[in-house]
Structure formats: C-alpha cells, structure tokens
Structure 1
Amino acid sequence: MASFSLNLTTSLSPSILQRRRFSSSTHPPPPPHGSLLQNKKFGVFLLLGLRPFSFNWRMRRTIMSVANQDAREAVKETDETDSMIGVLTEVDSHQVHDKSNEAWSQFARRISGEWDGFGADFSNQGTVIELPESVVPEAYREWEVKVFDWQTQCPTLADTEDRVLQYRSIQLLPTVGCEADAATVYNSDERKVGGENSGVTAFAYQPSGSYVALWQKKDDLIELEYCLINPQDFESRVRIVQRIRVLNNTELKLQGIRVFREQWYGPFRNGDQLGGCAIRDSAFASTPPVTASDITGIWQGSKDVSTFGTANTAIFQELLDDKTQKTVRDGENYVLLPKQLWFSFEQNKDGETLSEVGWLLDHGQAITSSCLFSSTAKLKEISIALETRALEHAE
C-alpha cells in the first residue's frame, strides 16, 4: 500500500531575490563609476560653503521609496508563498490522517467478529505436542486415540474511533461428537492493543485484517504473534504465536509455537455462542505438513513494512510502502507445518535474528510475514508480503 504525500517546491524569482538583497541594506546603491565629475562639483559647493543642490536627495528618496516598495512586495509575495505552503501542508496532513483512519476502519471491519477453529502446540522443530491426558475424554483414552488439537474461539472487537483492539483466545476442553456445542472453557487469554493497560510492545497491521504483535510476557520471555488473513477468502485466517526466550539481552531462542486455524463464524458476540459442529474446519495438528518442494524456489511480490527501534517510533503502526521483493527459498532452514504453513527462525552473521512465517495459498501464491531483531534483541522491522512463485527459468 503506497502512502500518500504531497510535496511542494517553491523557488522565488530572481527579481524577488534581487529585491531582498537590495532592501536588506540600509543605504542606497553606490553611484555609478562614471560620476567623478559630479563628485568634483559637490566638492566645489562644499568649498564655497554651499549645500549641494537637492537633486541627489530627491534621487535618494526616490530610490529608497522604490526599495521600500520592492521590499514590501517581496515580503508580501513571501508571505503569500508561506501561506500557500501552510495551506497545502495542512491539506496534506488532513488527507494522510483521513487515509490512516480509513485504513484502520477497514482493518476493524475485517478483524471484528467471532473466530472459531482449532489450535495446537508445536516444538521449535515442528513436532506436534499431545494434549495433557487430564483434559482428554475417557472415550479417547479407551480407544487409544491421541488428541493434539484444542477447539478454540477468538471473539474479537476493534474500536474504529479509539483504535483499540481487544480479543480473547479461548481453549475449550475436548469433547466427543457434537458435544462440542456444550464445550467447557479450559483457558482464556485476553489481550488488548491500544489504549491504557495494553501489554503490546509493538503492533503493525494491514487494512486486510492481517497484523503482527509483539507481547512482553516476562522479563526474559516474549511472544511474537502473526495473524494472516487469506486474501482469497477474508473469512479464513491463521495465527502463529512464537514463544521466544531472551538471553542476556543479546540472543533470542525459540522455545515453541502455537498455531490457530480459524474461520469467521459471525458478528462479535463476546464468545457467548459456540460454532460447535457448524465449524467449517477440522482438527489439523496431525495432518501431513506442507511439502518442501512447494515452498522452495524463487518468490516475488509486494511487501508492506513498518520500522521500529528508534526513540520516536510509535509502537502502533500501519504497514506501508508496498515495496517489491524477490526471495529465494532453499528449504534448508524452514520448519514445515500442517495446513500449508511453515516458519523459520535464525540468526545471521551480524548477530541479527530473522523470524519468518508463511502460508501457501492456491494458484502458486503465498502470504508471508517476518520480523527482524537487532543484535541486542530489539525489534527493527515488521513486514507482510503477498508473493507469487516465479517460473523455474526465472533468474
């Protein structure tokens, strides 16, 4: 998405610049070089004790009058130019503000509602983690069926005026059959972005409904949450939450991840109604992961970026810039997940850490998101990109 800007370059005419130089002096211009005779005449008058004739005085008054008039015109013209710049700057500011409000309003419409689905935990190597035996129904244990997925809810509401986003990630106890309609809440994690008492340390969003949030959980533990909306189906999304340990404020270690696969079920009701058996998705944690050959190769597309890390940087930003990028994926450092998902988490030679997640879509497209951290474990950049796989013969 390209940001809107209006640049005005104003250059004053040479005559105005000349007038400014002329009027800045307290004296009129010196007489021309050919006035030696006139100076001699003045000398004769002075020797006779007479005042020189008044022609020079009138000339001086005329020249100073012209200089003052030109100075006033220059000031007037400069004031008009400054006024024009001020008006256009104010218009530009209002237009940028209106565009930002429109982007947030669109994001709020996309994100608000009841999102139901399934969630599962994975190790930092992509191994799915079984649910605790204490929460699994007796019937599953008797049938020796392993359970890896939580049924989940995520009631979400974004305020279009105050720019506040609130949502709850709810885990429901596993049930058998359509008893899901009467499921019991096992855990509820409520989060807030914007306003007072917000636990987020960085947040970047797109009008599409996608966002990235960085949460400070403990002194040495952070959570990096990616929420990606399917651009081909705005009622389908994934959330990938990376749990990261910060060591000595210099090193980041990935502890594990949690993946949510969710569908928009209806308008916001604060979680008072379950999707139950009407959910349009199914448990996914034990299904086959994405194929490595499907994500390797050359990918190119547009990328929206937000930068962080400076003293004046806001923690709440819209992803902008719409840059073009080309990425070559060799598949070596990528961890493959079910539902066409993958991620990577690695440190480069400069000590920076790059986290990336990706979701393979239909028709050779993918939506990816990444976060770059400095060698001192500080967030530097968030980006979201919509990519298309290039032809094999592309350079």
Structure 2
Amino acid sequence: MTSFFSVNVTTSPSPCILQQRCFSTLSSSTHLPHSSLQQKGKFGAFLLLGFRPFSFNWRRRRTLMCAANQDAKEAVKEIGEIDGLIGVMGEVDSHQVHDKSIEAWSQFSGRISGEWDGFGADFSKQGKVIELPESVVPEAYREWEVKVFDWQTQCPTLADPKDHVIQYRSVQLLPTVGCEADAATVYSSDERKVSVENSEVNAFAYQSSGSYVAVWQKKDDLIELEYCLINPQDFESRVRFIQRICVLNNTEMELQGIRVFREQWYGPFRNGDQLGGCAIRDSAFASTAPMISSDIAGIWQGSKAVTTFDTTNTGIFRELLGDETQKSVRDGENNVLLPKQLWFSFEQNKVGETLSEVGWLLDHGKAITSSCLFSSTAKLKEISIALETIALEHVV
C-alpha cells in the first residue's frame, strides 16, 4: 500500500508583521468631584478643604477665598498628575505584556530552529503502519525479503526571533543499506512557511518550549493538523504528528490517516546541507510493537495551556497561555495505539463537535498531550497542550 500523503511545496512572498497584543490591567478611577462643588454653593471650596462656614468681613472673606481657590487649583493639579501617572502605569503594563509575548516567541524560535533528523512513517486511521513503495526500497532488502516502513528524514527549520515567520522542510530520503545513509539522496521535500501572509495556514499556536500546533488548509475539503511536541525533559527530542482530515459538507470531519516523525536536534540551522546519517540518536520505529493500552488507562490530570478561536479573536499566531487544570479519563480502548509510547484519537461528541488528540507517554505515569476542538460546522474552536500525570489510585 502506498502513502496517502501528497507532497506540496509552498512558499510565501514576504515576512509577516508581528501582531501586537496590548491590553492594560490598570485604569483610572480618580475623578475631581466637580458636581459636589457645584451642589455645595459658595461654601464648596471650604468644604472641599475641610472648613466649616462662618461669618467674616469682606476683606477676610476675599483672602480666604483666594487661599481656598489656590488650594483647589493645587488639588486639581495633583489629581491630574495622579491620572497621568495611572495612565503611564497602564502603558507600562501594556508594554510588559507585549514584551512577554516577544520574549516567548524569541525563546520558541531559538528552540525550534536547527537541523532535526530522524525517521517518519505513515499509519492508517486504525493505526496500521503503511509499507514504503517497493520502487524506493533497495534491491538488497527485497532479496532478503525485508519490509521497510520508515523514511529517514530531515527537517531543517528556521524561525525569525523578532518577526512571526517560520520556515521548514520535511525531507524524505531514499532508504539505504547500512551507513550509506550518510550519502542518501532526497526522495521528496515538502517546504512550508508560516506567516500572516500565507493563506494555507489557518492557525499556528506555540509555546516557548518549542512545541506548536499548526492547522493547514490544503484544499477546500482537506486540512492537516500538525502537532509538534517537545520532550520537556529533553529539548533536543521531539515528535510530530500530521493528521490528514477530509471535511464533508462543512459538518462532518473524517480522518484519512496520520504521519508520525520522531526527530532529534542535530545542530544549528544549515538548511539541510549535512545529514546526521549514522550519528542520529534514534532508529527506525514504525514496525516495533505499539504501546500497551493499560499504560494510558486511568484518570489523568495536569496543567493545560490553551488558546480559543472565535469571530472576535482573529489572527494566525497564538501563544498558548494559562495554567488550567485538565482532567481526562482514558480507557485505552478509544485511542489508537502507536509504537514508541505514542497514541492518538479522533472522535465526535454528542453535540457534533470533533476532538482530535495526540499523546506521548514520556515516562510511566507522565505524558504530554495536545488537542484541537472543532465545532459542529468544522470551525476551529480551541487548541491546547497539556502536561499530565496519572492518578495511580484510579487506574482501571
């Protein structure tokens, strides 16, 4: 069976413009009580300063009124200065939020940029691995009747630390025998660019850790969900899932298949001019045994970073924020189990929403997961990434 993924080369004409998200948490609530002065009549100024009305001669009255007026002017001046200070504080707070967003993107770009080498394989929606086309398999393998399921891959990636632009190429290399992998040739190259000017990208949600989720509009009725999860215990190790989804009548979403990459950071960005080859710290994985369902069965909970989508919240780039607590009950039966402690699910709930989820069991009882939630009309509603631990006392 051949792969169901087609290779498309996409480009974008120019870099994007950083989307500023400035909002203030402080506002001025201090106002001069002009109405109070007017209501108190001729004694208003004295009441403002704490004086009580009394009788006096004209000259003394004039002197006191001048003093009161001068104090009132000073009060107005001070209040104006306070308002101005609060306004400045609001601007400072807004700049701090903006600076944090810039810092998060800068950290993300530093962690995502570089040469990522590894292996990739295609799986059916039931989790069955798909064998490579016979035409690309070396004759030696065919003579030995060895089936090949993994592509050796490269993914040179470069993100601009200042502007929201990221470019990368998913390269498939022809299978070779032994350490001839160092001289492997390119079979296909899928170049992608994410920017505000790229119409193929519906959404790009990221974390400073280097993890991200991208929603690609490949055709009118075809989208790809790309999940990239960084190992929080090893920032040089990651997994990418690409789910290929057909959208029928703008309501029904049907999973076609999934492609999985296991990749290691091999060095700084060199645009793929050098291959890790036999120095890659991993090996082919597609034909190894899938994970055991009992490893993910139970009640999971942890911290979730999320971003939501609606008509008022537009823009391609979203930083995944927040520290919400997520609880999930998994029985292992409704998840498609893959090798190397990976799994995914794709299902529709009772109200017609579609939930896509991928997961990576990092250690016993610890996992990183990511999900996309779509409405009953196939509109993206939410993207999230969570770090979870299992409640051992509730394991089923």
Same fold (TM over 0.5): yes
> Which residue in 2 is equivalent to 1:273?
274
> Which residue in 1 is equivalent to 2:12?
none
Cα deviation, 1:303-328, whole Å, max 9, x if unaligned, reads 10111122332220111011122211
Query: TM-score, normalized by length of structure 2?
Result: 0.85
- Residue 127 of structure 2 corresponds to residue 113 of structure 1: no
Q: Aligned ranges for residues 370-389 of structure 1 at < 5 Å?
A: 370-389=371-390
Q: Output the CA distance in 2 between the equivalents of 1:229 and 1:4.
A: 28
Amino acid at match of 1:21: S
Amino acid at match of 1:375: S
Q: Secondary structure at the match of 2:363?
A: coil
Amino acid at match of 1:22: S
Q: Output the CA distance in 2 between the equivalents of 1:385 and 1:312.
A: 22
Q: Unaligned 5+ residue runs, structure 2?
A: 1-20, 45-55
Judging changes above 3 Å, is the alpha-carbon distance between structure 1 residues 331 and 26 closer, same or farther for their aligned structure 2 residues? same
> Which residue in 2 is equivalent to 1:258?
259
Judging changes above 3 Å, is the alpha-carbon distance between structure 1 residues 73 and 252 closer, same or farther for their aligned structure 2 residues? farther
Q: Output the CA distance in 2 between the equivalents of 1:142 and 1:334.
A: 37
Q: Aligned ranges for residues 1-395 of structure 1 at < 5 Å?
A: 7-8=25-26, 11-12=29-30, 17=33, 20-24=34-38, 28=42, 72=73, 75-197=76-198, 199-393=200-394
Larger relative contact order (CA 8 Å, sep ≥ 6)? 2
Question: Which stretch shifts more, 334-343 or 4-13?
Answer: 4-13
Judging changes above 3 Å, is the alpha-carbon distance between structure 1 residues 223 and 58 closer, same or farther for their aligned structure 2 residues? farther
Cα deviation, 1:161-212, whole Å, max 9, x if unaligned, reads 1221110000111111111111111110011112533631101111111000
Q: Output the CA distance in 2 between the equivalents of 1:9 and 1:196.
A: 35
Query: 8 Å contact 1:225–1:241 — kept in the other structure?
Result: yes
1:76 positional shift: 3.0
1:141 positional shift: 1.4
Amino acid at match of 2:187: Y
Q: Output the CA distance in 1 between the equivalents of 2:395 and 2:282.
A: 37
1:144 positional shift: 1.3
> Which residue in 1 is equivalent to 2:18?
none
Cα deviation, 1:253-293, whole Å, max 9, x if unaligned, reads 11100000101111111001111111111111110111100
Judging changes above 3 Å, is the alpha-carbon distance between structure 1 residues 214 and 67 closer, same or farther for their aligned structure 2 residues? farther
Query: 8 Å contact 2:297–2:330 — kept in the other structure?
Result: yes
Q: How much identity, in percent, do the aligned residues show?
A: 79
Q: Output the CA distance in 2 between the equivalents of 1:377 and 1:61.
A: 76
Q: Secondary structure at the match of 1:392?
A: helix
Q: Output the CA distance in 2 between the equivalents of 1:143 and 1:236.
A: 32
Judging changes above 3 Å, is the alpha-carbon distance between structure 1 residues 280 and 4 closer, same or farther for their aligned structure 2 residues? farther
Q: Secondary structure at the match of 2:242?
A: strand
Q: Output the CA distance in 2 between the equivalents of 1:337 and 1:394.
A: 21
Q: Secondary structure at the match of 1:83?
A: helix
1:56 positional shift: 11
1:99 positional shift: 1.3
Query: 8 Å contact 1:305–1:320 — kept in the other structure?
Result: yes
Amino acid at match of 1:260: F
Amino acid at match of 1:379: L
Q: Output the CA distance in 2 between the equivalents of 1:81 and 1:250.
A: 55
CA root-mean-square deviation: 2.8
Amino acid at match of 1:227: C
Cα deviation, 1:79-128, whole Å, max 9, x if unaligned, reads 22321221111111121122112111111111111000110001111111
Alignment size in residue pairs: 365
1:64 positional shift: 8.3
Q: Unaligned 5+ residue runs, structure 1?
A: 31-54
1:61 positional shift: 7.9
Query: 8 Å contact 2:152–2:174 — kept in the other structure?
Result: yes
Judging changes above 3 Å, is the alpha-carbon distance between structure 1 residues 62 and 327 closer, same or farther for their aligned structure 2 residues? farther
Query: TM-score, normalized by length of structure 1?
Result: 0.85
Judging changes above 3 Å, is the alpha-carbon distance between structure 1 residues 143 and 376 closer, same or farther for their aligned structure 2 residues? same
Amino acid at match of 2:343: W
Q: Output the CA distance in 2 between the equivalents of 1:83 and 1:275.
A: 59
1:233 positional shift: 1.0
Query: 8 Å contact 1:117–1:152 — kept in the other structure?
Result: yes
1:333 positional shift: 1.4
Question: Which stretch shifts more, 20-29 or 108-117?
Answer: 20-29
Judging changes above 3 Å, is the alpha-carbon distance between structure 1 residues 197 and 267 closer, same or farther for their aligned structure 2 residues? same
Amino acid at match of 2:189: S
